[in-house]
Structure 1
Amino acid sequence: MTPEEMQARIVRYGELVPCRTAFIDAHTPGSNQKENFTIIGGGVSESADQHVHITIPHGFNIGAAGQPPKCRNSLHSHRTAEVFFVLKGRWRFFWGRWGNAGEVVLEEGDIINIPTGIFRGFENIGTDYGMIMAVLGGDDAGGGVIWAPQVIEDAKDHGLVLGENGKLYDSKKGQHLPDGVKPMPLLSEEELKTFPELEAADVVPGYVARYWDLMSLAGKRPAKVLGETGVLKDKPGFEIDFITRDSASEEMHQHPYPSVLMPVTGHWKITWEGGETVLAPGDTMSIPENLGHSAVPSMTGEAALYHVIATADPAGPTWQG
């Protein structure tokens, strides 16, 4: 693959195109300053304004959320995996019907695999603009977002209506539901009972991995973060490895499925059969299946990278062995 061809599979942090109207809470006070990014795949945006950087199917989606301090993402659920790692800032993740069943605070480099089937949200509790990177299971990202009923009701008070077709309509722009399209129905009380109220003790031990713990685990070999044998045991259609300076290798290797390189700290020299480049934190690089490649730090100092690799496992609910 030539450098020119590979360039179409690299998204630099400084070139990310945000969408400020991606979801139903785009006008809701407290959530109306967030920026959503769809980096790889169709994502789960409900807005036609969402820019997609790389449309090539990978078996998973890569996205990101950028938020100023005290800005939060409203309570929602997914049918497939939703895995976040903190790129910048300090973030509080919370869950439950009303967001008060449990919570955990993540620092830069920490990663969380939020169990499917629970309402979850997140908030930047740092002092500066923060960014979290996301991996969503499946090419269709689980068929979209399932919102807690109060989120839909609050949005209506601020001019946004979600149609049953999964699209947003903004009354502030003179938009309304097309003929034949009904509003997205609210979940019934019976349906809400199927969403568990998990305490922090049920979530944190098996679904959260800390950056510095992973730095210790990745000795001479990369640490398996997410996977059947990973620190976080799951088979959501992809695996995630954590690579450090000590565990990086210049030896070329390849995978039968697409993979993605996402630096957390340090600068990384990526070499492939046809060229090389350097990635910085926040950059995202898609590696085609069966293409030999390697990743090693290009400068001295702290260096860590998340490597997402598609697998043959179907995207679906959280699994634990």
Structure 2
Amino acid sequence: MTTLTERIVRYGELRPCKTAFIDAHTPGSNQKENFTIIGGGVSESPDQHVHIRDTPGFNIGAAGQPPKCRNSLHSHTTAEVFFVLKGRWRFFWGRNGDAGEFIAEEGDIFNIPTGIFRGFENVGTDYGMIMAILGGDDAGGGVTWAPQVIQEAAAHGLVLGNNGVLYDSKKGQTLPHNVKPMPVLTEEQMAAYPEVPVEAVVPRYVARYQDLMALSGKKPAKVIGTDALLKDKPGFEVDFLSRNSLGEDVITPEKHVVLMPMRGTWALKVSTSETVLNAGDTCLLKPGEAYTLAPSMTGEASLYRVSETDDPAGATWTEA
């Protein structure tokens, strides 16, 4: 049985991987840093460090990027949810990334629909960080890259095998004899990926930080779930807490819970253990592990709480 300390990943202790994905050498994307915090994540590199290997029905990760750095177009078959911890980010989607886009500010959360190609870019002036919630225990099994991403990566020495592993010719690596290159989607296959207009995405899949602060004045705001602001069943639920959202009552979750502070410091007590969570920290709580949680200092305080559900981590995109 792991201790509470072993299930907390501090923001300052996050270990990045700069070779996590197929576009690691592609100009404009080659400064990305990928973080796998809970679960196996979606990294294609053996260099990826995993902080907590438990898989509570979903994965937690993060992406850090300097200004003007982008993550290339890809699609997921399970949920991909981001909230902006630091900076200003442009999310875009469609086969060529031009079907729709919007700008996310700090604290905003985006439940990106499955089955569409998406990417994101740091459009701020400083290093930015977005925190990720990925559906399912095996989040890496459902990632598909747009054809142009695979082709451009090959031109810069990176080939993705059909075993999901990257091979870098700059390091003298070649595909093993029993591994073939990941096939590129055909035009017919690409036609199955919708070009979704922005007006069909933002109202249904985006929640703004200031709105959540207003909604969480006396109790937690339900962000993602069947009866939440963003109605969905991605295999987990998300709610949002601010200063006055919780009292002093003891909470005993029936399933896994992950606490992810956005602003301020939060005092957490589990049994006889007490600690303080800061912005960017991640804490995994086990089923039946009773806890109390409250802001520990004055000033702005906010926190995203992710709870495991029995729902399958399936498709989220449906026609309006």
TM-score range, shorter chain: over 0.9
Which of 85, 89, 92 is the equivalent residue of 2:90? 92
**What is the identity, as a one-letter code, of the residue corresponding to 1:80?**
T
Q: 1:142 Cα shift?
A: 5.8
1:163 to 155, 161, 164: 161
- Number of residues paired by the alignment? 319
**Distance (whole Å) between structure 2 residues aligned to residue 193 and residue 208 of structure 1:** 25
> 2:211 matched to which residue of 1?
213
Secondary structure of 1:206 counterpart: helix
SS at match of 2:222: strand
Paired residue for 2:296?
A: 298
Partner of 1:265: 263
Which residue of 75, 78, 81 corresponds with 1:77?
Answer: 75
Distance 2:205 2:185 in 1: 26
Answer with 21-30 or 252-261: which moved more: 252-261
Q: Distance in 2 between matches of 1:206 and 1:56?
A: 31
Q: Which moves more between the two structures, 89-98 or 242-251?
A: 242-251
SS class of match (1:74)? strand
* Aligned twin of 1:189: 187
Aligned AA for 1:16?
L
Question: Normalised by the size of structure 2, how large is the TM-score?
Answer: 0.98
C-alpha root-mean-square deviation of aligned residues, in Å? 1.2
1:13 is matched with 11
Out of 273, 276, 292, the position equivalent to 1:275 is 273
Q: Could you tell which deviates more after superposition, 265-274 or 160-169?
A: 265-274
The residue that corresponds to 1:174 in the other structure is 172
Q: What letter matches 1:30 in structure 2?
A: G
Partner of 1:41: 39
Give the deviation of 1:144 after TM superposition.
3.7
Contact map agreement 1:79 1:142 (CA 8 A) in 2 = no
Q: CA deviation at 1:319?
A: 6.2
Moved over 4 A (4+): none
Separation in 1, partners of 2:317, 2:128:
30
Shift of 1:180: 1.4
Q: Distance in 1 between matches of 2:13 and 2:204?
A: 34
Deviation at 1:294, TM superposition (A): 1.8
Structure 2 Cα separation of the partners of residues 225 and 280 of structure 1:
21
Deviation at 1:255, TM superposition (A): 1.5
Query: TM-score, normalising length from structure 1?
Result: 0.98
Deviations 1:84-124 (A, max 9, x none): 00000000000000000000100000000000000000000
Q: Percent identity between the aligned chains?
A: 69
**Of residues 230, 233, 239 in structure 2, which corresponds to 1:232?**
230
Contiguous gaps of at least 5 residues in structure 1:
none
The one-letter code sitting in structure 1 at the alignment partner of 2:42 is V
